[in-house]
């Protein structure tokens, strides 16, 4: 078995950046923040409301939100309860 030596060059300050010049940790922080915001949108029904508007092809309005809430409540009543 042959072992090759690995050359270790000193790390330059610019080596820890992406192509835009941001630190590499910036990308995973941005991704984590995006996931966090998406979770909040799901928890507070903003994503469900956006899907509803897309499905019924309407723009956001008080009437559209009232229809969304009515549909949500009807669906909630139909769900089986556990325990």
Tell me, yes or no, whether 63 lies in a domain. yes
Whether residue 6 lies inside any domain: the answer is no
Q: Say if 68 falls within a structural domain.
A: yes
Any domain includes 23? no
Return the pLDDT at 20: 64
Low-confidence ranges of the chain (pLDDT < 70): 1-24, 79, 81, 83
Whether 63 contacts 70, CB under 8 Å = no
Return the pLDDT at 21: 65
- List the domain range (segments joined by +) for residue 50: 45-83
Residue 79 lies in a domain: yes
Q: Is residue 27 part of a domain?
A: no
Tokens of 62: 């008080």
pLDDT tens-digit profile of 58-67?
A: 999 999 999 9
Task: Report yes or no on 75 lying in a domain.
Answer: yes
Rounded Cα–Cα distance for residues 33 and 46 (Å): 17
Total number of domains in the chain: 1
pTM recorded for the entire structure: 0.55
User: Domain for residue 51, yes or no?
Assistant: yes
**pLDDT for 44-59, tens place per residue?**
889 999 999 999 999 9
């Amino acid at each position: 078995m042959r072992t090759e030596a690995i050359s270790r060059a000193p790390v330059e300050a610019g080596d820890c950046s992406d192509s835009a010049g941001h630190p590499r940790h910036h990308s995973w922080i941005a991704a984590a923040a995006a996931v966090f915001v998406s979770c909040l949108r799901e928890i507070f029904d903003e994503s469900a409301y956006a899907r509803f508007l897309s499905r019924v092809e309407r723009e956001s309005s008080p009437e559209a939100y009232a229809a969304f809430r009515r549909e949500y409540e009807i669906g909630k009543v139909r769900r089986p309860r556990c325990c």
